[in-house]
């Protein structure tokens, strides 16, 4: 049996024991075992039957391929089965509750998909004359005005293609504003709380700032004393990057004061808006003194995410930063004609240029606006309320068997520490792996870093009470076994296609390309 570096089995799952049959095929139940497509080694087969091309060789200037293409050959049904079998190994929001905290894995309504497939949205091309895509431009403009209204901010850059990309947009706007004030060389420091998502310090560093960590208080929020001290001794602060509600799932109660302190110190307030789902329709970041904030359409506004995208991270900007927004943006003239402004009419030194080749993620814009229109403004408020209610339901159901990281109610996600695992020999990762056996994707683990052995659970508003109970029943049972020091948990997962993979080695030495195994040595 192959083992990972922690000495746990990685080989395909089976449960040892006389009563558990092992299958010849490696398949289990109705789930088919499936090798990598290259491992099928059918190099000579083909799913199509084309005649040899004639007379093309001389047109390639001698650059025709000499080696074999190296693509495995599958018939159409074999190709279909390969991908369907792989898809069955995926966990999906359409399959069950996806408890990943900080990710807002909510149901993607089918209506959004239907509207995004309308030919007028799906079949247009970014190079088309603008007169022929007036409806699409109007949609971008309407989504922009919803985002401005919901956030209480005067401007929005629609083109950033993910949350992290929106952070880059906002921080570049802050950088530009400081440059225009002639203070960029002096203001080098960006304050980032210890609980921040990793993208925050990465963005600040990428924009050339020095990252300065602010400590969290015992209540999981920004420690105001340490913030005040920091601002008292330095005059080189460019701004702060703060998530609200923060990654501990808590509302930063002192946020107005934080904004005032930063502004008095001459800096700007970047708010990481990834957790907007918890407050949409209830709180307007513009009223809190925010200068820039990205919104993850793929979190709050239900556009699909996972597996690398496509995301969309429109970034709202305050009066002070709006002049430095990137191109392109949509404007509407008095005659109701929409125009995508692609060329920057500002002086070269005033602009950050553009962030993407075209206008952003059109398909996500359509889905997000569909979601907004189907909820209406009052419905969006209820989204936030139900998301917070669901997270608190989970916290309340599990708080007697697990250890809530902080006292009191949470916002949209419930955070637990590993205190209840003290002296049991069981760790956070064992709980996460045991959840896989129960049919659930693990929660976010070991994040935020400020909580020991963190387990962060975000159910979102789209789960019913019945599904929340089903999930809590499973996690409660695991937590009880863990508290009793059940060694069996250390070997989980037992029922997944693969056992405990070597995640350390996968991260340190990723194998990103398949290479043919060395041919076996001929027997002597
Ligand atoms: C998701 C998330 C981000 C990054 O968003 P992406 O779209 O994944 O780039 C940033 N900050 C927080 C708090 C997040 O949850």
Residue nearest to atom 4 of ligand 1 (CA): 163
Span of 30-39, 57-66, 315-324, 377-386 with lowest mean pLDDT: 57-66
pTM, two decimals, is 0.91
Strand, coil or helix: what is 426? coil
Contact assessment for residue 184 and residue 175, using Cβ atoms and an 8 Å cutoff: yes
Q: How much is the mean pLDDT over the chain?
A: 92
Residue 189 pairs in a beta bridge with 210, 237
Tokens of 375: 């909820």
In the reported structure, the alpha carbon of residue 375 is separated from the centroid of ligand 1 by a whole-number distance in angstroms of 24
Q: Per-residue pLDDT for 308 more than 80?
A: no
360 against 351, higher pLDDT: 360
* Annotated domain spans of the chain: 111-371
Q: Which CATH code fits 111-371?
A: 3.40.640.10
Q: Per-residue pLDDT for 21 more than 80?
A: no
pLDDT digits (tens, 9 = 90+) for 384-409: 999 999 999 999 999 999 999 999 99
In the reported structure, the alpha carbon of residue 303 is separated from the centroid of ligand 1 by a whole-number distance in angstroms of 14
Q: Per-residue pLDDT for 31 more than 90?
A: no
Strand, coil or helix: what is 155? strand
Cis peptide before 448 (omega within 30 of 0): yes
Strand, coil or helix: what is 411? coil
Q: Cα–Cα distances in Å, from 173 out to 155, 161, 242? A: 12, 16, 16
Atom of ligand 1 nearest to the CA of 162: 7
Q: Which of 199, 251, 305, 360 to mutate to test the pocket of ligand 1 (most atoms within 8 A of CB)?
A: 199
> Nearest Cα to 40, choosing from 90, 4, 85?
85
Q: Report d(CA 155, CA 449) in Å as an integer.
A: 33
Q: Per-residue pLDDT for 518 more than 80?
A: no
Mean pLDDT over residues 151-173, rounded? 97
Residue nearest to atom 7 of ligand 1 (CA): 163
Taking CB atoms and a 6 Å cutoff, what residues make up the pocket around ligand 1? Answer: 102, 162-164, 197, 199, 243, 247, 272, 274, 296, 311, 313
Atom of ligand 1 nearest to the CA of 164: 9
Backbone angles phi and psi of 327, in degrees to 5:
-85, 160
Atom of ligand 1 nearest to the CA of 298: 7
- Residue 317 host element (H or E): strand 315-317
Percent of the chain scoring above 90 in pLDDT: 75
Mean pLDDT over residues 283-298, rounded? 98
Atom of ligand 1 nearest to the CA of 102: 15
The pLDDT-based confidence of 513 (bands split at 50, 70, 90) is confident
Mean pLDDT over residues 450-469, rounded? 97
Residue nearest to atom 2 of ligand 1 (CA): 274
Residue nearest to atom 5 of ligand 1 (CA): 163
Atom of ligand 1 nearest to the CA of 313: 7
In the reported structure, the alpha carbon of residue 163 is separated from the centroid of ligand 1 by a whole-number distance in angstroms of 5
pLDDT digits (tens, 9 = 90+) for 363-385: 999 999 999 999 998 999 999 99
In the reported structure, the alpha carbon of residue 233 is separated from the centroid of ligand 1 by a whole-number distance in angstroms of 31
Residue nearest to atom 15 of ligand 1 (CA): 102
Question: In b/e form, how buried is each residue of 3-42, taking b as 16+ CB within 10 angstroms?
Answer: ebeeebbbeebbeeeeeeeeeeeeebeeeeebeebeeeee
In the reported structure, the alpha carbon of residue 5 is separated from the centroid of ligand 1 by a whole-number distance in angstroms of 30
Residue nearest to atom 3 of ligand 1 (CA): 163
Going by the DSSP 8-state scheme, the letter that residue 221 receives in this structure is S
- Cβ burial, residue 248 (10 Å; 0-12/13-18/19+): buried
pLDDT digits (tens, 9 = 90+) for 198-251: 999 999 999 999 999 999 999 999 999 999 999 998 889 999 999 999 999 999
Mean pLDDT over residues 471-488, rounded? 97
In the reported structure, the alpha carbon of residue 4 is separated from the centroid of ligand 1 by a whole-number distance in angstroms of 30
Atom of ligand 1 nearest to the CA of 167: 10
In the reported structure, the alpha carbon of residue 127 is separated from the centroid of ligand 1 by a whole-number distance in angstroms of 30
In the reported structure, the alpha carbon of residue 313 is separated from the centroid of ligand 1 by a whole-number distance in angstroms of 9
Strand, coil or helix: what is 170? helix
In the reported structure, the alpha carbon of residue 59 is separated from the centroid of ligand 1 by a whole-number distance in angstroms of 49
The pLDDT-based confidence of 14 (bands split at 50, 70, 90) is low
- Cβ burial, residue 507 (10 Å; 0-12/13-18/19+): exposed
In the reported structure, the alpha carbon of residue 192 is separated from the centroid of ligand 1 by a whole-number distance in angstroms of 15
Q: Report d(CA 236, CA 332) in Å as an integer.
A: 40
- Residue 404 host element (H or E): strand 403-404
pLDDT of res. 507: 92
Mean pLDDT over residues 73-94, rounded? 91
Q: Which of 194, 270, 296, 356 to mutate to test the pocket of ligand 1 (most atoms within 8 A of CB)?
A: 296
Mean pLDDT over residues 413-427, rounded? 97
Q: Which of 164, 298, 364 to mutate to test the pocket of ligand 1 (most atoms within 8 A of CB)?
A: 164
Span of 178-192, 214-228, 291-305, 503-517 with lowest mean pLDDT: 503-517
The pLDDT-based confidence of 524 (bands split at 50, 70, 90) is very low
In the reported structure, the alpha carbon of residue 78 is separated from the centroid of ligand 1 by a whole-number distance in angstroms of 37
Q: Which long-range contacts (CB under 8 A, 24 or more apart) does 116-119 make?
A: 116/363, 116/366, 116/367, 116/370
In the reported structure, the alpha carbon of residue 104 is separated from the centroid of ligand 1 by a whole-number distance in angstroms of 10
The pLDDT-based confidence of 23 (bands split at 50, 70, 90) is confident
User: How many other β-carbons are positioned within 10 Å of the β-carbon of residue 260?
Assistant: 13
455 against 74, higher pLDDT: 455
Span of 68-72, 135-139, 184-188, 304-308 with lowest mean pLDDT: 304-308
In the reported structure, the alpha carbon of residue 275 is separated from the centroid of ligand 1 by a whole-number distance in angstroms of 9
């Amino acid at each position: 049996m192959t083992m990972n570096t922690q000495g746990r089995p990685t080989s395909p799952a089976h449960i040892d024991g006389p009563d558990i049959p092992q299958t010849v095929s490696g398949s289990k139940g109705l789930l088919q075992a499936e090798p990598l497509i290259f491992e099928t080694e059918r190099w000579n087969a083909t799913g199509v039957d084309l005649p040899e091309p004639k007379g093309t060789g001389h047109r390639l200037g001698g650059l025709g391929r000499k080696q074999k293409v190296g693509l495995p050959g599958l018939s159409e049904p074999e190709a279909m089965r390969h991908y369907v079998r792989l898809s069955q190994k995926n966990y999906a929001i359409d399959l069950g509750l996806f408890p990943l905290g900080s990710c807002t894995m909510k149901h993607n309504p089918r209506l959004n998909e239907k509207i995004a497939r309308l030919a007028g949205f799906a079949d247009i091309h970014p190079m088309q004359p603008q007169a022929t895509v007036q409806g699409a431009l109007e949609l971008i403009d309407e989504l922009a005005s919803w985002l401005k209204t919901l956030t209480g901010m005067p401007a929005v850059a629609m083109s950033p293609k993910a949350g992290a990309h929106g952070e880059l947009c906002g921080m570049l706007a802050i950088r530009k504003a400081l440059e225009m004030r002639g203070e960029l060389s002096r203001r080098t420091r960006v304050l980032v709380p210890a609980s921040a998502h990793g993208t925050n310090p990465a963005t600040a560093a990428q924009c050339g700032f020095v990252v300065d960590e602010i400590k969290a208080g015992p209540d999981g929020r920004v420690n105001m004393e340490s913030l005040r001290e920091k601002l008292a001794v330095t005059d080189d602060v460019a701004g702060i990057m703060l998530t609200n509600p923060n990654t501990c799932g808590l509302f930063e109660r002192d946020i107005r004061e934080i904004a005032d302190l930063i502004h008095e110190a001459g800096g700007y307030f970047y708010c990481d808006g990834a957790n907007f789902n918890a407050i949409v329709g209830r709180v307007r970041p513009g009223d809190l003194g925010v200068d820039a904030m990205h919104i993850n359409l793929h979190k709050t506004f239900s556009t699909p995410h996972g597996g690398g995208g496509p995301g969309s991270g429109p970034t709202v900007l305050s009066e002070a930063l709006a002049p430095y927004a990137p191109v392109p943006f949509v404007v509407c003239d008095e005659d109701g004609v929409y125009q995508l402004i692609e060329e920057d009419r500002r002086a070269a030194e005033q602009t950050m240029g553009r962030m993407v080749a075209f206008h952003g993620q059109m398909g996500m814009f359509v889905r997000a606006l569909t979601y907004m229109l189907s909820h209406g403004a009052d419905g969006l408020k209820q989204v936030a309320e139900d998301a917070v209610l669901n997270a608190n339901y989970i916290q309340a159901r599990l708080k007697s068997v697990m250890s809530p990281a902080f006292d009191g109610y949470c916002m949209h996600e419930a955070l637990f520490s590993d205190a209840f695992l003290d002296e049991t020999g069981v760790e956070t990762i064992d709980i996460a792996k045991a959840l896989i056996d129960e049919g659930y994707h693990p929660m976010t683990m070991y994040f935020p870093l400020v909580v020991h052995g963190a387990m962060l659970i975000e159910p979102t508003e789209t789960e019913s009470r019945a599904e929340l109970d089903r999930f809590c029943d499973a996690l409660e049972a695991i937590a009880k076994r863990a508290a009793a020091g059940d060694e069996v948990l250390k070997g989980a997962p037992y029922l997944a296609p693969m056992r405990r993979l070597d995640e350390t080695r996968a991260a340190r030495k990723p194998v990103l390309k398949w290479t043919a195994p060395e041919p076996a040595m001929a027997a002597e």
